[in-house]
Structure 1
């Protein structure tokens, strides 16, 4: 067991983040295509299924984050990995309709559970600055996605069962890592929380919830890439599935390059750089959707994905880092859980809203709406940080 003074090992935390993302990447990228082409479900039905999965992720993240501050994190994350192992076995046995949708919802719950637990463990790393830690967590998560999405396209024609089997093997590996490397004793923190109730300053709360709300809005737009764009490319434009899979490989590789570059230049540890990344990243993210209406071939989608990734890689990891800076030690799990839930809420709403817009106005209207929504998020986050950051209390310790 690691001591409290040592904190969490960054190396093993990043390994866990990589494996968790690698395994989960065999499940979600082809969900929309599988439901549409193999299980013959409509876009609206697919939207409801994706919503159920994402709501499960949001609830799992919130529950896990709150429990992190009150119970042994080791037991918490261990239970989440065991649940994912059981669910992969269930997927291998039952992946027809509607069983697939039910299991996918449970996978969402425990996927959110694990994401929040890993992020909360990130606040317990003592050896590096919090902004560096969350940059690296985001990098490793997407690095894992590079491998899985690159493999999904070639493996899927042999049957979706093989993807679930690979995910099962990875979660078994993750269980052994958690079992041997995640036993951090946080009992003293739990006792402190039970005896002292800490109320966050109002400006801290304002910025935290502005950041979380901004993430929700950004992920409503981002969810279109993960669901409706795959159907648009494969079923409307008749582009091969490997091209959609390749977009996510580009996404992961570019995130790796950007994150490693920022860390090499020590930008992740600079507070002013953090705000530049948030503001510029959101703007880039919004601009990317304006490319999609004019994209009818792979190169157009690749360009849009490159712009999307630049915005995502710079802005997205800085929001949990900002939340970490604005929360005391005994509340970090709770607010990291809420931060981890934000993308899930966006993924819950995004496919359903997107499917409705497509049926009423078409795909081009969807892309313009996603861009407009992103700029709404930018105004909200910019205003709250400019007006409130100087009035906040910063908790520098991780």
Structure 2
């Protein structure tokens, strides 16, 4: 069992999350374009590479989440950061084919490791409500990722090696922050029997897995933006790469406005608002995919991105917050690891499924199919929450 004597500083946790996501954002956003245009790989091969990266993230998240409940959290974060430093050094010298794909898989594993550890630290912030903490974690992590994604377009023109150098510098900064600020005091007592017999109420388990599966489905659709859509815009519609990068700038600005607005209105303290955000997020993701078949210019993609971002900013942070409320302190690392793994699973199968559908039936089929899958997920999630939440045990 873990009992915390001093809570984690939200300020330093958010700083670490921002730097971690900026660093990782220099590595993967242009993976599809780099593999397609520079290493001359097909969409199916690109899908397999991104799947390997995402599976690495999922496994890393699950392993880190399990270890968080058993070992000193700071050492886990230090180890993950050190490995990302080593990985970026490898990227600098070995970024041809197939070494790039192999190293990218390792980067996925330790990227997932760090993300799950940071999310698990979020359960130990005592100065704010859990929903506020995960709102802010999601906002700051996405702000860091979007900041990096908006920058990689111009930097990429000078060579991909510069992106790896920048990521290396950011991970060195992250290591220093972890060393000096991630010093929460945790006591552990060996209660093996209690660990083995600890079971969640059945509705807690059902709702947690519903949230995790719903998050994975959302990321299957979202991964199309990060993979196949970049190729669609640059290679099929012949739109410049900077326009694709600009979409993520819009994404980041809109996330900031929505998240800061929700925090200013204190919506995170309202449990009913949490459910509304989850439902609305699923619906908006589906609507965005209904817009994409008609998008042929930057304006059309920008409108679809705005709709997607509204769904993202409302639903994504609330699912880990829901899982946090439904899990006891002894198991928070395990279940936050699952919520961190769900996006990786979505990223794993999303590009592969999307690439296969596109090559067989075209982009239009992929867009409409994505909308259908999201709407089915919305129905399932809504039924489970409305049926089971009142029967579940809340731990926060």
Question: TM-score, normalization: structure 2?
Answer: 0.98
Which segments of 5 or more consecutive residues in structure 2 lack a partner in the other structure?
none
- The 1-side partners of 2:27 and 2:382 are apart by 35
Counterpart of 1:306 in structure 2 is 306
User: Is the contact made by 2:5 and 2:184 (CA closer than 8 Å) also made in structure 1?
Assistant: no
C-alpha displacement of 1:186: 2.0
SS state at 1:307 partner: helix
Counterpart of 2:182 in structure 1 is 182
Counterpart of 1:322 in structure 2 is 322
- The 2-side partners of 1:66 and 1:4 are apart by 18
Which segments of 5 or more consecutive residues in structure 1 lack a partner in the other structure?
none
1:80-100 per-position Cα deviation (integer Å, ceiling 9, x unaligned): 000000000000010000000
- The 2-side partners of 1:111 and 1:100 are apart by 16
SS state at 2:276 partner: helix
Counterpart of 1:360 in structure 2 is 360
User: Is the contact made by 2:120 and 2:337 (CA closer than 8 Å) also made in structure 1?
Assistant: yes
C-alpha displacement of 1:64: 0.2
Query: What is the 5 A alignment of 1:57-72?
Result: 57-72=57-72
Counterpart of 1:161 in structure 2 is 161
The yes-or-no answer on 1:101 pairing with 2:112 is no
- The 1-side partners of 2:8 and 2:192 are apart by 20
The yes-or-no answer on 1:215 pairing with 2:183 is no
C-alpha displacement of 1:4: 3.1
Q: Call closer, same or farther: CA 1:183–1:293 in 2, change over 3 Å.
A: same
1:362-397 per-position Cα deviation (integer Å, ceiling 9, x unaligned): 00110111111111110111011011000000001x
- The 1-side partners of 2:199 and 2:350 are apart by 33
SS state at 1:101 partner: helix
SS state at 2:190 partner: helix
Q: Call closer, same or farther: CA 1:157–1:125 in 2, change over 3 Å.
A: same
C-alpha displacement of 1:153: 1.0
Counterpart of 1:395 in structure 2 is 395
User: Is the contact made by 2:5 and 2:185 (CA closer than 8 Å) also made in structure 1?
Assistant: no
- The 1-side partners of 2:295 and 2:192 are apart by 53
1:143-194 per-position Cα deviation (integer Å, ceiling 9, x unaligned): 1123211211111110000000000000000000001111222233x53566
- The 2-side partners of 1:82 and 1:162 are apart by 20
- The 2-side partners of 1:235 and 1:323 are apart by 40
C-alpha displacement of 1:252: 1.0
SS state at 2:157 partner: helix
- The 2-side partners of 1:320 and 1:80 are apart by 21
- The 1-side partners of 2:108 and 2:297 are apart by 32
The yes-or-no answer on 1:288 pairing with 2:257 is no
SS state at 1:239 partner: coil
C-alpha displacement of 1:271: 0.4
- The 2-side partners of 1:81 and 1:367 are apart by 37
**Worse overlay, 141-150 or 238-247:** 141-150
User: Is the contact made by 2:5 and 2:186 (CA closer than 8 Å) also made in structure 1?
Assistant: no
Query: What is the 5 A alignment of 1:41-56?
Result: 41-56=41-56
Q: Which ranges of 4 or more aligned residues in structure 1 deviate by more than 4 Å? A: 192-196
C-alpha displacement of 1:253: 1.1
- The 1-side partners of 2:212 and 2:390 are apart by 19
Counterpart of 2:190 in structure 1 is 191
1:115-143 per-position Cα deviation (integer Å, ceiling 9, x unaligned): 00000000000000000000000000011
C-alpha displacement of 1:195: 4.3
- The 1-side partners of 2:14 and 2:190 are apart by 28
Question: TM-score, normalization: structure 1?
Answer: 0.97
User: Is the contact made by 1:29 and 1:226 (CA closer than 8 Å) also made in structure 2?
Assistant: yes
SS state at 1:290 partner: helix
